Amino acid sequence: MNQRHKVNRTRRKALIAVAGLVLGSGGLVAVDAAANAGSADARRAGGIVCPSVQDRLTGVPEGARNEVHRNLDALRQDIKAADARWASGKAGSSRTVLDSLWSKRSAALERIEVAVERAGAGRPRNLQSLAQCTLAAGDTQVKAEGDQQQGAGQPSPGAPGPGQPPAGEQGQAAGNGSVPEDFVDITTVRPNVRPVRNGRSASRGTFRSRCGVNAQGQFNSDNVIVAPGVTNGAHHTHDYVGATGVDGFTTNESLAAARTTCTNGDRSTYYWPVLRDRAGVQESDADKQGGGAEGNIGRILTPASVSLEFTGSPRSKVIAMPRFLRIITGDAKANANGGANANARFTCTGFENRVELKDKYPICPQGSRLMRVSKFQSCWDGKNTDSAGHRSHVAFADATGRCPAGFRPIPQLVQRVTYNGLAGSTGFAVDSFPESFHKPVTDHGDFINAMPNSLMKQAVNCINTGRRCG
């Protein structure tokens, strides 16, 4: 009998544990419909077995209960959908189904963690270890690819167990970092950058803020845009330039009053995940959150240079950014989220016409520097400085440089960060969420505009009149 028939037979025989939620004074209490069997190690939906999240959650604060309830329901629905997809016979390999489910569960678990922490409780520990599910057949678990049976409750050889990353990425979450397949020799990459042609009304100027390279070592693992009011909201460490003292508790008011590393009085904050030499000396955060405790190990590399350049539109003049506009480019969880918002760009100096490396780190030749290029959205909805997902209030122009309907062109931040000493190296990686495995596609940048209005006016004037300022 083949594996698919075994799973379908199990579906007919299995008792499906239907879990309900009781919101009591003590937090979330799991109610098991299977004869009140108590705390189970797994919840079943047909052939897919997942670790119980409900049983791990106790004492959820009042302010987080609705969000936790929604995400627990989403977790159950995702299991049912994945199981139906597998049983349909149209899903392809079991690994495809399990990896997709793992990605969705990881994102839901992250939302639960953030909700609980924002409500004033400590961040739940080790929830991400519950993201991985397995296939079950009868009283045994089935190997992800193949028919070899294992004893009850024993993980299949070569298949990830609960809390492990999908196949091909095992061993990385614990801090082993990037793998050889993440790298490519830049000299073998064909030129792939096609400049956009300027129209008659183009704004051809540029404006630069010179804000240093974070030589003072301003680091933290917060993210004030995505997780305001939360410590270690990023689970990886950021470099900061611009306004000093920025962390998860920074407000518009504190940003406007901050000192700055920029030479022109720009109080904006610019931050991005640090790059580490993972084969080198350990940092002081080797056992701390955001650092080694979450797989981000190695020596933090100080950039050789940081260029913060604002450019114009190839189709029209630009308008001023509103003060405190928040923009995120790229996606820190791009490998788990399908890559729709990925915007990583790696290259080497001297090879800038080969900058479209989005899922590979470049191996640079001698005499060349590694470069990370972040291009931020250049179209604004004209109303909002932020949005629920931190993306819909801004947009990218199309291939011809035109903004979507309802959006207006603003100066585009193009951030270039370069590093010395990495020629020929494959021992570096960006910091990442534990479940993102330091993949190059997860590189990203964050920006909050806090230029004084007079400085923004100067920048717009320079750009629209075709001058180079700063």
On whether both 357 and 235 belong to a single domain, the answer is yes
Give the mean model confidence (pLDDT) for residues 152-171: 35
Give the mean model confidence (pLDDT) for residues 344-370: 93
User: Last residue of a domain, which of 112, 145, 167?
Assistant: 167
On whether both 375 and 250 belong to a single domain, the answer is yes
On whether both 16 and 131 belong to a single domain, the answer is yes
pLDDT tens per residue across span 385-433? 999 999 999 999 999 999 999 999 999 999 999 999 999 999 999 999 9
On whether both 228 and 122 belong to a single domain, the answer is no
Give every CB contact of residue 359 below 8 A, 6+ residues apart in sequence: 342, 344, 439, 440, 441
Q: How many domains does the chain have?
A: 2
On whether both 134 and 197 belong to a single domain, the answer is no
> How far does CA 403 lie from the centroid of its chain?
25
Give the mean model confidence (pLDDT) for residues 58-87: 84
Find the domain containing 308 and state its range.
Answer: 173-469
Q: How far, in Å, CA of 79 to CA of 112, rounded?
A: 17
User: Last residue of a domain, which of 167, 187, 218?
Assistant: 167
Most confident of 16-20, 228-232, 435-439: 228-232
- Round the average pLDDT of the chain to a whole number and report it: 81
Q: What is the pLDDT of residue 31?
A: 26
On whether both 18 and 160 belong to a single domain, the answer is yes
C-alpha Rg value of the chain to the nearest Å: 24
On whether both 104 and 179 belong to a single domain, the answer is no
On whether both 59 and 122 belong to a single domain, the answer is yes
Q: How far, in Å, CA of 360 to CA of 350, rounded?
A: 18
3-state secondary structure of 253: helix
pTM for this model (two decimals)? 0.68
On whether both 292 and 198 belong to a single domain, the answer is yes
On whether both 248 and 356 belong to a single domain, the answer is yes
On whether both 276 and 333 belong to a single domain, the answer is yes
Is the pLDDT at 41 greater than 60? The verdict is no
Write out 287-350 in H/E/C secondary structure: CCCCCHHHCCCCEECCCCEEEEEEECCCCCCCCCCCCCCEEEEECCCHHHHCCCCCCCCEEECC
Q: How far, in Å, CA of 239 to CA of 219, rounded?
A: 5
pLDDT band at residue 92, thresholds of 50, 70 and 90?
Answer: low
On whether both 210 and 140 belong to a single domain, the answer is no
User: Last residue of a domain, which of 112, 138, 167?
Assistant: 167
State which amino acid sits at residue 382.
G
**Concatenated DSSP letters for 194-235?**
-PPPP-TT----EEEE-----TT--EES--TTTSTT-TTSSS
Share of the chain above pLDDT 70, in %: 80
